[in-house]
Amino acid sequence: MAQSPSAPTDDKTEPPPLAALSGRKRWSWVPGVVLFIAFTVFVVTRYTEEKRLAQLFLQARPLWLLVAAGFQLCTYLCAATLWRRVLRRTGVRAPVLALARLSIMKLAFDQILPSAGLGGSLVVARGLRREGASTGAATASVLVTNLCLYISQALTLSTSVAFLWWRQELNALVQWLATAFCVVLAIVPVTMLWLTRRQGWTPPRWTRRVPGLEALLGAISQVPPHLLRNPLLLAEGTLLSLSIFLLDAATLSAALRSLGYAAPPSTVLVSFMLASVAETVSLMPGGVGTFDGACVGLLNFLGVPLEEALAGTLLTRGFTLWLPLLPGLYLLRWSTPREKRDE
C-alpha cells in the first residue's frame, strides 16, 4: 500500500466516529421514523387494504429482489471508484473493496446524523488516511464526492422538472423542492470551494462546540485546490455519482417488478430523483419519512397504483437504508480504537 510523502498520522485532532452519537443526537432519527410510521398507517388505513399489501410482499419474486441487491452492491463500488480516482492523483493506491467498506460506514453514519451528506466525511477521511492518504488528499476525496453528488443532483433535478413540465404535471410541491434544493446548492458546495481557497485557515473557536466540525474545517483548509478544480476529475466524479443515482432508481424499478408491476423507466427515475432531493433538503437522517412519503406520492401521481408504490418504496428502502445500516454500524463500532470504545 503506497504511502503519501506528507501523510500525517496524528489522529488526536480527529474525534472518534462514534463520539458524535452521544446524547440527544443519537436519537435524531426518531422524528423521521415517527413521521414514516404515521404516513404508512395513514396510507394503509385510508387508501389500501392490509391484505392486499401483505399479499404483495408475500408474492415478491426472489429473482428481482436479487437483482435489486446487485444494483445496491454496485453503488458502493461506484463510490469507492470515485474515491480511488481522487487518491490516485495524489500518489495513493487503495483497494476498491476497502473503500467500498468505507462507503457502507459513511451511509450508516449519515443515516444517524443529519448533515446534508457531510456527516460521514470524518469517518471516510479517517479510513482514507489509514490507506495512506494525507489529510488534504483524504478530505479532497470526500469533498469531490459531495461536490459531484450535488452537481449530479442538480442535473437530474433539472431533467425531472423539464419532464414534468413537458407532461404538464409540474405542481407546487415540485417547484418548492427545486427552490429549496437551489438554496442548499448555493450554500454547501460554494462554502466548500471557498474554504479550500483559504490555505492554512484556522477555524473559529465556536466550531469546537460542534463535535468534529473544527477538525473537518481544518482538514478542508489543507485540501490541494487543484483537485477540486480539475475538470476531468469532476466530470468523472459526476458520471460516477449519476451512476449511483441510476442504480438506486434501478433498485426501485426492480423492487416494483418483484411485485409484478413494470413501471415506465421515466416514472421511476423522476420519482426517485425528486424524492432524493426531498431527502437532501429535509436534513432528516436517512430521509426517513421525507423520502418515503415523497417517493410514494410521486409514483402514485405518475400512475403507479398506491399499493405497489408503497410496497415498492418499502422494499427499496430496505435495500438502500435498513439492510446496510446494521453492518455499517458494526464497522463503525470496530473502526474505533478499543480504548475510545470503552470510554
Pairwise pLDDT comparison (268 vs 18), residue with the higher score: 268
CA angle 82, 85, 90 (to 5 degrees): 135
| Range in 55-59, 119-123, 206-210 the model is least confident about | 206-210
pLDDT for position 342 = 43
| The pLDDT of residue 36 | 55
What's the pLDDT at 3? Answer: 38
pLDDT band at 250 (very low <50, low <70, confident <90, very high): very high
Supply the range of the domain harboring residue 273.
Answer: 61-336
Residue 16 lies in a domain: no
Which one is predicted more confidently, 294 or 108?
Answer: 294
pLDDT for position 14: 44
**Assigned domain for 2 exists:** no
217 has a pLDDT exceeding 80: no
**Residue 71: predicted pLDDT:** 95
285 vs 257, higher pLDDT: 257
Residue 343 included in any domain: no
- Report the amino acid identity of residue 158: S
| CB-CB contact of 217 with 200 (8 Å) | no
Given a cut of 60, whether residue 80 has pLDDT beyond it is: yes
pLDDT tops 80 at residue 154: yes
State how many domains the chain has.
1
Alpha-carbon distance of 155 to 151, in angstroms, equals 6
pLDDT at 212 over 60: no
pLDDT at 40: 59
CA–CA distance, 157 with 174 (Å, rounded to integer) = 10
Phi and psi at residue 170, to the nearest 5°:
-80, 115
pLDDT at 175: 81
Cα radius of gyration rounded to whole Å, the chain:
20
CA 172 to chain centre: 25
If one compares 217 and 274, the residue with the highest pLDDT of the two is 274
Please report whether residue 44 resides in a domain. Answer: no
Nine-digit cell string for 202: 484556522
Give CA–CA dist 201/299, Å, rounded. Answer: 46
Residue 4 in domain:
no
Mean pLDDT across 31-50: 55
- Select, from the ranges 32-41, 67-76, 197-206, the one with the highest average predicted confidence (pLDDT): 67-76
Classify residue 282: in a domain, yes or no.
Answer: yes
Q: Is residue 304 part of a domain?
A: yes
Would you say residue 93 lies in a domain?
yes
pTM of the entire predicted model: 0.75
pLDDT at 246 over 50: yes
Spatial distance between the Cα atoms of 278 and 190, rounded to a whole number of angstroms: 20
User: Pick the residue with more confidence: 78 or 191?
Assistant: 78
Return the pLDDT at 161.
87
pLDDT of residue 48: 55
Dist CA 71 CA 170 (whole Å): 30
Beta strand extents in the chain (DSSP E only): none
Chain mean pLDDT for the chain: 75
